Structure 1
Amino acid sequence: MGSRRDQLLDAAIEVLGTSGMHGLTHRRVDTAAGVAHGSCSNHFRTREALLDAVVERFSERERRNWEEIAVRSAPRTADELALAMTLFAHEATTTHRTLTLARYAILVESGTQPALRARLLATGAQVNEWFHVWLRLAGSDDPERHAPILMNHWTGVVLHELAIPDPAFDPSEQLKALVAAIVGERVGT
């Protein structure tokens, strides 16, 4: 089991993912974590401090989720990259649904909170660097330009599935077509 801090942050992610931004209070985090009231505020004095730490924690958890997929698929072609993105979309909307809903709640909140936006940009930069490697391996000659196109589409697909779940959710064909159109296939693969 992780530290008390991680326990509280995971509980905060659970609260965000199930109750949204307005449901996030120190008291609700304490209840969700099963700890004495006041524990969350002892670790995170303000709501801003809690949100800042939550961003770091969900980024860490999402990176681990991406890495698990990378180990399973290690994309080296456009098709394999589309498959990895599809796997991550499925996991983001099922197994890791609450984590993903928490991320989207914070993304919306960052629209009115510059400090939160800055934290998201910093943690997102780490993910972008990692995704750029995948793009290069899949044949992209301009990962810095291609990454936002692919990830913004992926983000929209996942958001739509979270908001309006489809029992037949399968973004594989659209992701495959988009990745192929943007990245193309590497000659000789």
Structure 2
Amino acid sequence: MGNRRNDLLDAAIEVLGGSGMHGLTHRRVDAAAGLPAGSCSNHFRTRDALLEAVVERFADRERHNFEAILMESVPHGPAELAQVLTRMAHDAVGPHRTLTLARYAILVEAGIHPSLRARLLTTGARVNAYFMAWLRLAGSTDPDRQAPLIMNYWTGVVLHELAVPDPAFDPSEQLTSLVTAVFGAEVPT
């Protein structure tokens, strides 16, 4: 078992991903972590403090999940990048579904609470830098332009699959078409 703080944050992610923002309470996190009442509030005095810590924790967990995928396949071209993105999408809606649902719940909440928005921008900058490196490995000549196009599409595909699950979910063809088109597109001068 990890340290108590991370156990509480992982339990908060489970509660958030399973019950949404309205279900997230200190008491429910304590119960999900199997810890005595008051444990969560001892570490995170306010709900805002808990949410800000959850943002850091899910960013670390997602980065770890993405690194595990890349350990198996580093993208060396648009088609391979599309394969990695497909694997990431399956991972996000499958074994890490609750983590992904928690991320989307917090993204929506950030639209209402600027303090969360600031935290997401910080963790998002690290994710963006990571993805830019993947794009360069895959042969991108303009990752600043291409990254938002690809990742925003990927985010939408994953969100749609979470909301309306399809047993035959396979975004590989669309992702391959998108990545190939984005890599081949020239910016008009």
Stretches of structure 1 lacking an aligned partner (at least 5 in a row):
none
In 2, the alpha carbon distance for the partners of 1:106 and 1:137 equals 30
**Structure 2 residue aligned with 1:80:** 80
* 3-state secondary structure, aligned to 1:183: helix
In 1, the alpha carbon distance for the partners of 2:31 and 2:53 equals 18
Give the superposition deviation at 1:184: 3.4
**Structure 1 residue aligned with 2:7:** 7
Give the superposition deviation at 1:169: 0.1
**Structure 1 residue aligned with 2:164:** 164
In 1, the alpha carbon distance for the partners of 2:27 and 2:126 equals 32
**Structure 2 residue aligned with 1:62:** 62
**TM-score normalized with structure 1 length:** 0.96
Stretches of structure 2 lacking an aligned partner (at least 5 in a row):
none
> Contact 1:138 / 1:183 at 8 angstroms: preserved in 2?
no
Alignment of structure 1 residues 88-107 onto 2, 5 Å: 88-107=88-107
In 2, the alpha carbon distance for the partners of 1:182 and 1:139 equals 12
- The AA in structure 2 aligned to 1:42 is N
* 3-state secondary structure, aligned to 1:148: helix
Give the superposition deviation at 1:183: 1.3
- The count of aligned residue pairs is 185
**Structure 2 residue aligned with 1:113:** 113
In 2, the alpha carbon distance for the partners of 1:81 and 1:181 equals 13
> Contact 1:146 / 1:182 at 8 angstroms: preserved in 2?
yes
Superposed CA RMSD in Å reads: 0.9
> Contact 1:140 / 1:184 at 8 angstroms: preserved in 2?
no
- The AA in structure 2 aligned to 1:5 is R
> Contact 1:15 / 1:29 at 8 angstroms: preserved in 2?
yes
In 1, the alpha carbon distance for the partners of 2:144 and 2:58 equals 23
**Structure 2 residue aligned with 1:18:** 18
> Contact 1:79 / 1:176 at 8 angstroms: preserved in 2?
yes
Alignment of structure 1 residues 149-188 onto 2, 5 Å: 149-184=149-184
In 1, the alpha carbon distance for the partners of 2:27 and 2:145 equals 43
- The AA in structure 1 aligned to 2:112 is T
Moved over 4 A (4+): none
- The AA in structure 1 aligned to 2:77 is T
**Cα deviation digits, residues 149-168 of structure 1 (max 9, x gap):** 10000000000000000000
In 1, the alpha carbon distance for the partners of 2:183 and 2:66 equals 20
Give the superposition deviation at 1:128: 0.5
- The AA in structure 1 aligned to 2:171 is P
Identity %: 70
